[in-house]
Amino acid sequence: MSRKPYVREVSKTRWFLRQPRYMRYMMREVTCLSIGAYALVLVLGIKRLSEGRAAYEGFLQALASPGGILFHLVVLAFALYHTASWFNVTPKAMPVQIGESFVSGGVIVGAHYGAWIVISLAVLLLAGAF
């Protein structure tokens, strides 16, 4: 009897359309681009600041325009999705064993959210928001 194994090709460009879980993975990965985009906006802001008061005020006005606000909302939504999707898998990468039992995943995820809130408050404090 002869062997002739049949190999099924996997699409290199459309593989993630096959399963919702692959789509969720792509969402997690792609949403990081919005964080990069926002970093570019901040860099642009610093550049405008160096160009003087008028340039900086123009930059602030652009941020406050309807388009600017929409951009912020979209970037915020993506950044939140990206952050939450990573925080929620941290117990897998960093399990904590105490004696014979593992610390529950909720505690590890919660600690990340806690640290996030504390750091955000510290940044806002430094920025003089309070």
Partner 1 sequence: MSERRVSLEVLRYDPETDSEPRFQRYPVPYHEEWVVLDALNYIKDHLDTTLSYRWSCHMAVCGSCGMMVNGEPVLACKAFLRDYPDEIRVEPLLHFPIERDLVTVIDDFMAKLARVKPYLIPARDEPASAAERRQTPAELKRFKQYTLCINCMLCYAACPEYGLMPEFLGPAAIALAHRYNRDSRDAGRDERQEIIAANEGVWDCSFVGACSEVCPKHVDPAGALQQVKIASTVDWYKEHLMPWVKK
Cβ proximity to partner 1, 24 vs 47, nearer residue: 24
C-alpha distances in Å from residue 70, one per residue of 10, 31, 32, 64, 105: 38, 16, 18, 10, 35
Answer for the pair 90, 108: CB distance below 8 angstroms, yes or no.
yes
Cβ proximity to partner 1, 53 vs 92, nearer residue: 92
Cβ proximity to partner 1, 99 vs 128, nearer residue: 99
For residues 108 and 114, give the distance between their C-alpha atoms in angstroms, rounded to a whole number: 10
User: Which residues contact partner 1 by CB under 8 A?
Assistant: 1-8, 10, 12, 15-16, 18-19, 21-22, 25, 29, 89, 91-95, 97, 99-102
Q: How far is the CB of 33 from partner 1 (least distance, A)?
A: 15
Q: How far is the CB of 54 from partner 1 (least distance, A)?
A: 46
For residues 6 and 22, give the distance between their C-alpha atoms in angstroms, rounded to a whole number: 25
